[in-house]
């Protein structure tokens, strides 16, 4: 069955609420009650919030659990190419037929009541999960935490908060302390809440929210820690130490995300995960469009032989700093380093680009068709303002062709496509790398 049916059903759902985003739990709770409360019939749940890194943490959780022989449900957002990517049933992406029938069931039961598309998709995920046996369930928060649709699960096995930064400020608050408080809203009585490393004031703010709830705070640097030293991933907590191979996912920040996943699994008592599963899972984990190397396909073929093409969906200032740090040691004299970026008008484009100011050769700005985006001319001007040469382009392919036309064959370029998950999704689709 074609995904066009899914699109038609969700187009119908969009007419039910005037706003795409309206953070509340009331509408979804009413719908879930009508559906028989499927969120209360899930296997042990691992709930992950954060500004950056929560998707990668989910990937590490899933990989370690599956390495332990567990069947794992996963709910993530947004998707890159197909809505199916958001719902993984017992290890496999939900098929078109099941997704369509589940959406139809949810929409029929909802019976035209006001509700957002994300809430419909969340209800569909819970309903599908409740109908399919599994050993564990991993939920990624969509936005924030306190009022996110995934926060209807009453008693997860463990909760975790990945890295925090400024994003979605129009909904979550304008300061990092505001955002920390919203993320901490996933805390539950008696449930481990595993934290990454934050400034002391941020950790304190999380504690102010989670402590009175009765959550069991698990602090990095006190209760657990993770480092990369001599090409070995070292993890420690009160249960002991693990010496692991570095994560398959690229970037120093993945040590943080992998460590958070391990800490969540080792500080809960509902699912048994042996040490061998951590060793295997950290090396298995895969998360598309997170510093993903593109080495095949028509877009890659546009570049000169020996070029590198990287893809990342990061789109906020914290993501910009992490990506820039990944390429910090790159020598521009030996090989030029280009950015190809498209960004939504809701994002802090200048904040995202600023870390690249002296670390890239130039930026090619591209449009994001079908979404409110900075025009290539405006985005290129933002790059120029921070000292990064900016050039508009009509598409990713046009940008890569321009880079190739100006390339020195003795110094093949390194190219990073970034700034938007929508751009990333189209690159994956054009490259024949649709997530499965």
Task: Report the CATH number that the domain containing residue 375 is assigned in CATH.
Answer: 3.90.190.20
280 lies in the same domain as 320: no
Q: Which of 175, 327, 348 is nearest to 250 (CA)?
A: 327
212 lies in the same domain as 314: no
Q: What is the pLDDT of residue 19?
A: 77
Which domain range does residue 391 map to? Answer: 292-430
Domain boundary among 221, 254, 284: 284
Domain boundary among 264, 284, 304: 284
H helices of 221-353, where?
253-266, 275-284, 317-326, 349-353
- Count of beta carbons in the 10 Å neighbourhood of residue 156: 26
Q: Which tens digits make up the pLDDT trace of 149-177?
A: 999 999 999 999 999 987 666 666 679 99
307 lies in the same domain as 399: yes
> Is pLDDT at 11 greater than 50 in this prediction?
yes
Q: Can you tell me the distance from the alpha carbon of 342 to that of 420, in angstroms, rounded to the nearest whole number?
A: 6
Q: Can you tell me the distance from the alpha carbon of 140 to that of 52, in angstroms, rounded to the nearest whole number?
A: 11
* Two tokens, residue 275: 């040490």
Q: Rounded mean pLDDT of 327-338?
A: 89
Q: Can you tell me the distance from the alpha carbon of 165 to that of 323, in angstroms, rounded to the nearest whole number?
A: 14
Q: With contact defined as beta carbons under 8 Å apart, do 287 and 421 qualify? A: no
364 lies in the same domain as 382: yes
Q: What is the pLDDT of residue 222?
A: 96
Residue 119 in domain: yes
Q: Can you tell me the distance from the alpha carbon of 397 to that of 378, in angstroms, rounded to the nearest whole number?
A: 19
194 lies in the same domain as 211: yes
275 lies in the same domain as 325: no
Residue 436 in domain: no
Query: What residues have CB less than 8 Å from 230, skipping those under 6 apart?
Result: none
Q: How confident is the model at residue 271 (pLDDT cuts 50, 70, 90)?
A: very high
119 lies in the same domain as 137: yes
Q: Can you tell me the distance from the alpha carbon of 404 to that of 423, in angstroms, rounded to the nearest whole number?
A: 20
Backbone torsions φ then ψ of 327, nearest 5 degrees: -105, 20
Q: How many domains does the chain have?
A: 2
> Is pLDDT at 225 greater than 70 in this prediction?
yes
Residue 435 in domain: no
Q: What is the pLDDT of residue 85?
A: 96
Q: With contact defined as beta carbons under 8 Å apart, do 251 and 391 qualify? A: no
Residue 64 in domain: yes
C-alpha separations of 32 from 6, 44, 122 in Å: 20, 19, 10
273 lies in the same domain as 235: yes
Q: What is the pLDDT of residue 330?
A: 83
Domain boundary among 229, 260, 284: 284
Residue 342 in domain: yes
Length of the chain: 436
> Is pLDDT at 1 greater than 50 in this prediction?
no
DSSP assignment letter at 223: T
């Amino acid at each position: 069955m074609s995904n066009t049916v899914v699109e038609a059903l969700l187009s119908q759902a969009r007419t039910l609420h005037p706003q795409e985003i309206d953070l509340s739990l009331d509408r979804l709770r009413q719908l879930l009650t009508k559906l028989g409360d499927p969120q209360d019939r899930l296997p042990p749940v691992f709930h992950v919030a954060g500004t950056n890194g929560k998707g990668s943490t989910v990937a590490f959780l899933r990989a370690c659990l599956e390495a332990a022989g567990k069947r794992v449900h996963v709910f993530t957002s947004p998707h890159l190419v197909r809505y199916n990517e958001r719902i993984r049933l017992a290890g496999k992406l939900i098929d078109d037929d099941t997704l369509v029938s589940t959406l139809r069931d949810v929409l029929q039961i909802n019976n035209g009541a006001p509700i957002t598309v994300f809430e419909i998709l969340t209800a569909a995920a819970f309903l599908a999960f409740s109908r399919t046996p599994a050993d564990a369930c991993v939920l990624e928060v969509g936005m924030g935490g306190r009022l996110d649709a995934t926060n209807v699960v009453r008693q997860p096995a463990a909760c975790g908060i990945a890295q925090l930064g400024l994003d979605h400020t129009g909904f979550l608050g304008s300061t990092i302390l505001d955002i920390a408080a919203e993320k901490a809203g996933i805390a539950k009585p008696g449930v481990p809440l595993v934290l990454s490393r934050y400034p002391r004031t941020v950790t304190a703010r999380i504690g102010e929210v989670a402590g009175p709830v009765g959550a069991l705070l698990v602090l990095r640097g006190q209760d657990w820690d993770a480092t990369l030293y001599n090409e070995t991933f070292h993890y420690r907590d009160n249960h002991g130490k693990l010496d692991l191979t570095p994560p398959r996912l690229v970037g120093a920040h993945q040590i943080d995300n992998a460590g958070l996943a391990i800490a969540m699994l080792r500080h809960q008592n509902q699912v048994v995960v042996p040490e061998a599963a951590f060793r295997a899972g950290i090396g298995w984990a895969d998360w598309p469009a997170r510093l993903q190397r593109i080495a095949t396909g028509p877009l890659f073929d546009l570049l000169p032989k020996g070029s590198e093409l990287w893809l990342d969906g990061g789109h906020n200032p914290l993501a910009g700093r992490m990506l820039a740090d990944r390429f910090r040691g790159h020598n521009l004299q030996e090989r030029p380093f280009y950015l190809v970026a498209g960004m939504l008008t809701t994002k802090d484009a200048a904040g995202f680009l600023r870390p690249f100011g002296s670390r890239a050769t130039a930026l090619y700005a591209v449009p994001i068709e079908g979404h409110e985006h900075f025009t290539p001319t405006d985005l290129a001007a933002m790059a120029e303002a921070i000292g990064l040469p900016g050039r508009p382009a009509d598409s990713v392919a046009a940008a890569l062709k321009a880079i190739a036309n100006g390339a020195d064959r003795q110094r093949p370029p390194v190219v990073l496509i970034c700034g938007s998950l929508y751009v990333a999704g189209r690159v994956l689709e054009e490259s024949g790398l649709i997530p499965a």
